Structure 1
């Protein structure tokens, strides 16, 4: 979420916070060895608590209808809209994402796509400990260093994407005379090859116990591919669904959280049956197949948005 906010509101601040968060796996091993595993969770709880307090006091309102009502109240204006009751707001907030998931092919398709790549990320994270201890003899203290490749890849992709997304949007808008949300999907073209390349090389170099730096470097390729795909898709949904963007993102969050929690369970059995080489190759082949989804929405997204209008009245 911090990475997404960095592209929308205050990139110079959130990028730094995101880097701090990404270093948690790196320092986690040293904390667990010196202070005990419980302190890994205590440190995260303290950090999140501070961040929650800072967010509560300093993050400004971004929901346009709420801002409009507040301005009207401050200036004694009367809006021709009835203020909904709390129960109505909660019911709509719960039901609208599900309705969008059912009625919008864009939300459904991209939710499944994001769920898969999100699941890949956590499959890698949950198997790093086994892979690098068994294949390379990493101890608990330095095990977190295996996450540096993903971290560096994510940071590099975030730096490129924060500039590239707006640059492409402005350039294509000037070229074709109109702004379209689908322009936001173009950076995925960079991410599509990076993810499977990273998985292929990571898997086979681990299989043959090539020097540990090589698989770590190529996990960075996968990390960069994940960021290009993940954030480009979310930014597209924000532009495509405007007022209901939060509901669209909530729908994707539900699906990807389910898959992100379940898919990693298959990681070790997959490697046990197929080995690290073919196991990760299978993941790479699936990634290539599903990558057609965002390309289809780049080509036909505008037509689908018009045909399946989810800007329903409630």
Structure 2
């Protein structure tokens, strides 16, 4: 499957092209220029939409991360002072995001990007309002899960960029969209800590509601449908009315593809099929799930360490997330600068034959650096080291986190080719489920053993997973031959 059309099998796309070339009664975009074709929209408008997508991505990340430094205060105010509740308040978002991609993507293929994006954002607003109004911790946690469920940006932003831009322009557009969540992750804790101290934590949630409402206003007034299937169907309906030619159809209407709930079910289950079929995907998903879980273990323990060990206020704790974000940004920039260079170097050394596994050396470095930095993070407060040491190790942790996880997506895209959308969905679902529940056990372990020994145990577990990218680097080319869905597979 193509990333820009993630639910259309490659055979369907080929058949569409055949029909468009062979029949005169098929409605398609005018090759000499068509104002309805998203690829031919004015650049200024397309970049306006990219800006809107970035703003939405910022809002989603702000809403997700802003509660991190104040989670304990929220659950305590709502009558549940248990640490497990504050951890679940943060991580339950990921459980919702585990289910969302399985539904949002297929629905956008059936009904178009515009109605699904608007419906999801309205649901996001409603769930966030519910969180702002609730009086009990369990209801707040449930509202957070629902909010994660209706997040559409992860699934639809890349697809919308693919609808509007040619392949050579995807990188620059997605770079802007991907920068927004990093910014939201830095600003969220900073603002929430200060607001919680002055006007209360509910004001933080209401701020998220306001940002989401602004997004929805722009979605309703500025955003247009970008997916070619509903655009062409509307064009065909208009031409039938104008010309009286009832035979006019789109190629998608003529190939007799599955419709309705059957198509939706096939699309939702395809990631599961690809996951079960590929041992490589199972291994890399397991590694990715463990790696991503470290972020939530860190995020749910970091505020308590800063407040209890270093006696920081909520506002100061929010400021202390800046080194983490700074490390993540530096890690992203370094990763992007060396990833292709390493690939080219290894490809040239292999007589010009590239392999997806050549994306993994960076991951291997991060796989060992991440658990080691997390172990050091646990011993800093245990040994009573100064605050600047804690802030420094948080930046190193953010750097290692990006090294260990970001190139995994590139590897999956390269290895699975036409089926990369389903493979990435399986990867996301796996990591989200792990990030929801693993931190609960991890935080309990740290509480029992102390931050030093607790983080050492978790670091040892991470080191046990670190050889996975090493094994895939050496044996992945052979293992991929046993899957029907990986490049170079048996089918």
TM-score by length of 1: 0.85
2:203 corresponds to: 39
Aligned partners of 2:438 and 2:480: how far apart in 1? 30
2:356 corresponds to: 181
| 213-222 or 274-283: bigger deviation | 213-222
Q: 2:313 aligns with which of 135, 139, 144?
A: 139
CA contact (8 A) 1:122 1:264 kept: yes
Q: 1:252 aligns with which of 383, 407, 427?
A: 427
Q: 2:471 aligns with which of 252, 272, 296?
A: 296
Structure with higher Rg: it is 2
Aligned partners of 1:136 and 1:50: how far apart in 2? 38
Structure 2 matches for 1:281-292, cutoff 5 A?
281-292=456-467
Aligned partners of 1:122 and 1:153: how far apart in 2? 16
CA contact (8 A) 1:32 1:39 kept: yes
Deviations for 1:269-294, whole angstroms, at most 9, x for unmatched residues?
21221111111111111111101111
Q: Which runs of 5+ in 1 are unaligned?
A: none
Aligned partners of 1:157 and 1:174: how far apart in 2? 26
| 263-272 or 224-233: bigger deviation | 263-272
CA apart distance, 1:227: 1.0
Aligned partners of 1:122 and 1:140: how far apart in 2? 19
1:57 and 2:223 matched? yes
1:239 and 2:421 matched? no
Aligned partners of 1:57 and 1:22: how far apart in 2? 25
Q: Alignment partner of 2:223: what SS?
A: helix
Q: Alignment partner of 2:258: what SS?
A: coil
Q: 2:324 aligns with which of 146, 150, 168?
A: 150
Aligned partners of 1:240 and 1:261: how far apart in 2? 27
1:14 and 2:189 matched? no
Aligned partners of 1:285 and 1:232: how far apart in 2? 23
CA apart distance, 1:257: 1.2
1:222 corresponds to: 397
Aligned partners of 2:193 and 2:296: how far apart in 1? 18
CA apart distance, 1:60: 6.1
2:260 corresponds to: 86
1:265 corresponds to: 440
Q: Alignment partner of 2:345: what SS?
A: helix
1:167 and 2:330 matched? no
2:276 corresponds to: 102
Aligned partners of 1:282 and 1:117: how far apart in 2? 15
CA contact (8 A) 1:198 1:220 kept: no
Cα RMSD, aligned residues only = 3.2
2:367 corresponds to: 192
Q: Alignment partner of 1:141: what SS?
A: helix
CA apart distance, 1:230: 1.2
Q: 2:190 aligns with which of 3, 6, 26?
A: 26
CA contact (8 A) 1:194 1:221 kept: no
CA contact (8 A) 1:197 1:221 kept: no
Q: 1:119 aligns with which of 288, 293, 298?
A: 293
CA contact (8 A) 1:116 1:259 kept: yes
2:383 corresponds to: 208
2:91 corresponds to: none
